[in-house]
């Protein structure tokens, strides 16, 4: 999966693809800002991912923040939007 | 998996249900290019008997801090009229006031009127949160928000709210994008309870025609969502939203119901809406029947899509 221009944007897509695509994982290690921009992450999402990358693991607070950012993508069902 | 706003817009335009003329397409393209990224859903509102007419275009944002900043900045770039300032006052409160934190979704509706789209959009606030099942909490939030968004109608808002305790208020909105400024409650209730509620509110619309319509609708749904508009007075217009259709199994727009509906509304559903379900993103639609102050019944379809890929 090297053609990143076709990957859907968003936080779930970022986490899934960076976890499962070794080439992308390496690029994220080398240039995190560039990869996060490709997935069109919001400023808050970028901040949380950057903080996570500086930690050895997810702290409780970072886990709460990451969950809050993932929630709209996970919980989304069209019947509840209106 | 989530698509960008431009990708979603292109996917939605590809549906064979869409028939938009080039002028409308050009204007919508401008709106789409200017609105903030990270949208949660879009909706095309179309008359079902005049499918090629211009459409109202709605866009939804999830209230994350970043989205609120983007939306606020976008509204600031508009003509700074008093309505734009009101929207930004509301957003500022959503960012800082605990009472506003329960609002997860906000909607903008770009209404097509007098040959163009509105500059400052109509603004809708979702109150779909489990804690808002506490009606006193919901009621005080709505009154507080209305002081910002529609102080002209505050007395009417306060007057109407107590009667709506028997309903579930899911949204309230303000027609900043229309020539005529109005506020609206959108609420759910049992289909056949609506007439008694309207009598309590001293509603002046055509109750006889409304009851005929409800007696038709109750065969497909014992619950409806209702749009009740007001300014300093309650409008005689009322809007009835039928249930969502998100799969072919849920499609109630079939011969027997359409025939009954046609007898009451004298309107024909001229387009098959089911291809809307074939898009690769999550989609859904419903129809809304509006009983106007002139006792006409108009039917519109609401075609929703979200940037999230369809689940298998």
Q: Which residue of B has its CA nearest to A45?
A: B66
- Predicted confidence at residue A1, as pLDDT, reads 39
Cα distance between residue B148 and residue B164, in whole Å? 21
Residues of B at the A interface, defined by Cβ within 8 angstroms: 1-4, 37-38, 40-41, 43, 60, 62, 64-67, 69, 104-105, 107, 126, 128, 170-171, 244, 246, 282-284, 302, 304-309
Cα distance between residue B195 and residue B134, in whole Å? 24
**How many angstroms separate the CA of residue B77 from the nearest CA in chain A?**
20
Percent of chain B whose pLDDT exceeds 90: 77
Q: Find the CB nearest A8 among B40, B304, B309.
A: B309
Answer yes or no: is pLDDT of B271 > 80: no
Query: Is the Cβ pair A72, B284 closer than 8 Å?
Result: no
ipTM of the complex: 0.84
Q: Find the CB nearest A42 among B1, B4, B66.
A: B66
- Predicted confidence at residue B54, as pLDDT, reads 78
**How many angstroms separate the CA of residue A56 from the nearest CA in chain B?**
26
- Predicted confidence at residue A6, as pLDDT, reads 66
- Predicted confidence at residue B51, as pLDDT, reads 64
Which residue is associated with the tokens 């007057």?
A: B159
Q: What is the pLDDT of residues B14-52, one digit of tens each?
A: 888 877 888 888 999 999 999 998 899 999 998 887 766
| Helix/strand/coil (H/E/C) assignment for every residue in chain A | CCCHHHCCECHHHHHHHHHHCHHHHHHHHHCHHHHHHHCCCCHHHHHHHHHHHHCCCCCHHHHHHHHHHHHHHHHCCHHHCC
Tokens read off for A28: 């994220």
Query: Is the Cβ pair B306, A45 closer than 8 Å?
Result: no
Query: Is the Cβ pair B105, A81 closer than 8 Å?
Result: yes
Domain residue limits at A8: 4-80
Between B161 and B179, the higher pLDDT residue: B161
Is the sign of the CA dihedral B135, B137, B141, B143 positive or negative? positive
- Predicted confidence at residue B95, as pLDDT, reads 93
- Predicted confidence at residue B58, as pLDDT, reads 97
Answer yes or no: is pLDDT of B3 > 90: no
Give the mean pLDDT of B71-100. Answer: 92
Q: Find the CB nearest B306 among A40, A45, A81.
A: A81
Q: How many domains does chain A have?
A: 1
Helix (H) or strand (E) holding B11: helix B5-13
Cα distance between residue B169 and residue B225, in whole Å? 9
Query: Which chain A residues are closer than 8 Å to B12 by Cβ?
Result: none
Give the mean pLDDT of B187-207. Answer: 97
Q: What is the pLDDT of residues B238-264, one digit of tens each?
A: 999 999 999 999 999 988 899 999 999
**Counts of helices then strands in chain B (DSSP H, E):** 9, 12
Cα distance between residue B46 and residue B209, in whole Å? 23
Q: What is the pLDDT of residues B206-243, one digit of tens each?
A: 999 999 999 999 999 999 999 999 999 999 999 999 99
Angle at alpha carbon of residue B160, lines to B154 and B161, rounded to 5° = 90
Query: Is the Cβ pair A78, B37 closer than 8 Å?
Result: no
Between B246 and B66, the higher pLDDT residue: B246
- Predicted confidence at residue A2, as pLDDT, reads 41
Q: Which of A77, A63, A41, A54 is nearest to B64 (CA)?
A: A41
Query: Which chain B residues are closer than 8 Å to A46 by Cβ?
Result: none
Q: Which of B86, B107, B215 is nearest to B151 (CA)?
A: B86
Share the mean pLDDT of chain B: 92
Percent of chain B whose pLDDT exceeds 70: 98
**How many angstroms separate the CA of residue A41 from the nearest CA in chain B?**
9
Answer yes or no: is pLDDT of B109 > 90: yes
- Predicted confidence at residue B1, as pLDDT, reads 65
Q: Find the CB nearest A78 among B67, B126, B246.
A: B246
Q: In a structure prediction context, what are the per-residue pLDDT tens digits for chain A, which is 82 residues long?
A: 344 456 777 898 899 999 999 999 999 999 999 999 988 888 888 999 999 998 877 888 888 889 888 887 777 788 889 9
Cα distance between residue B70 and residue B53, in whole Å? 31
């Amino acid at each position: 999966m090297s053609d990143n221009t076709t990957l859907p944007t968003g936080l779930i897509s970022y986490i899934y693809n960076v976890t499962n695509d070794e080439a992308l994982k390496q690029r994220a290690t080398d240039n995190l800002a560039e990869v996060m921009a490709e997935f069109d992450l919001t400023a808050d999402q970028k901040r949380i991912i950057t903080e996570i990358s500086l930690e050895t693991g997810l702290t409780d607070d970072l886990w709460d923040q990451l969950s809050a950012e993932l929630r709209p993508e996970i919980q989304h069902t069209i019947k509840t939007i209106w | 998996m989530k698509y960008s706003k431009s990708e979603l817009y292109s996917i939605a335009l590809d549906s064979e249900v869409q028939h938009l003329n080039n002028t409308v397409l050009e204007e919508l393209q401008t709106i789409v290019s200017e609105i903030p990224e990270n949208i949660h859903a879009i909706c095309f509102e179309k008359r079902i008997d005049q499918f090629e007419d211009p459409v109202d275009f709605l866009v939804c944002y999830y209230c994350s801090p970043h989205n609120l900043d983007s939306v606020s900045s976008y509204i600031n770039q508009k003509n700074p009229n008093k309505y734009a300032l009101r929207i930004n006052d509301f957003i500022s409160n959503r960012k800082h006031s605990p009472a506003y934190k329960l609002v997860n979704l906000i909607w903008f509706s770009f209404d097509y009127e007098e040959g163009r789209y509105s500059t400052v959009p109509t603004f809708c606030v979702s109150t779909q949160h489990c804690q808002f099942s506490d009606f006193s909490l919901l009621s005080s939030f709505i009154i507080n928000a209305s002081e910002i968004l529609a102080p002209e109608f505050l007395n009417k808002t306060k007057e109407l709210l107590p009667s709506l305790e028997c309903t579930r208020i899911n949204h309230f909105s303000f027609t900043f994008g229309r020539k005529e400024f109005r506020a609206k409650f959108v609420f759910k209730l049992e289909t056949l309870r609506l007439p008694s509620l309207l009598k309590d509110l001293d509603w002046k619309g055509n109750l006889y025609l409304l009851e005929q319509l409800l007696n038709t609708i109750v065969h497909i749904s014992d619950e409806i969502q209702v749009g009740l508009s007001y300014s300093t007075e309650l409008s005689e217009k009322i809007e009835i939203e039928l249930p969502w259709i998100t799969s072919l199994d849920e499609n109630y727009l079939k011969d027997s119901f359409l025939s009954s509906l046609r007898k009451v509304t004298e309107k024909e559903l001229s387009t098959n809406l089911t291809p809307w379900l074939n898009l690769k993103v999550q989609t859904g639609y419903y129809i809304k029947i509006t009983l106007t102050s002139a006792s006409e019944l108009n039917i519109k379809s609401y075609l929703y899509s979200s940037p999230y890929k369809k689940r298998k």
